[in-house]
Amino acid sequence: MDSAIEHLIDDDGIHEGRLVTRKDIVSNLYSRILCKVIILGPNNTWDYGADIKIVTIHGIDYLKTDSNPIPCDKIGNLPEF
């Protein structure tokens, strides 16, 4: 994953997304901004998934949704956008 669509989520709901880089996501996580997987589901509603976090394996940081020690970062095999 080199980029993703980021949506602001607040009390008013999920706002229109913007393209961000992996570096942006990492910066948000280090700034303690919660990053979560969301997928557009049936009836144009959003389904919330796992939290995205930084996991360090053998000294290398990966973006992951789990803490397993496998060095990959496919974020749950998300579909392409």
Average pLDDT on 48-57 reads 88
pTM value surpassing 0.85: no
Q: How far are the Cα atoms of 26, 45, 46 from residue 29, in angstroms, in the given order? A: 5, 25, 22
pLDDT at 81: 41
The pLDDT mean for the chain works out to: 84
Confidence of residue 17 (pLDDT cuts 50, 70, 90): very high
Q: Which residue has the tokens 């009836």?
A: 43
Higher pLDDT, 78 or 57: 57
Condensed to tens digits (0 to 9), the pLDDT of residues 25-39 reads: 989 999 999 999 988
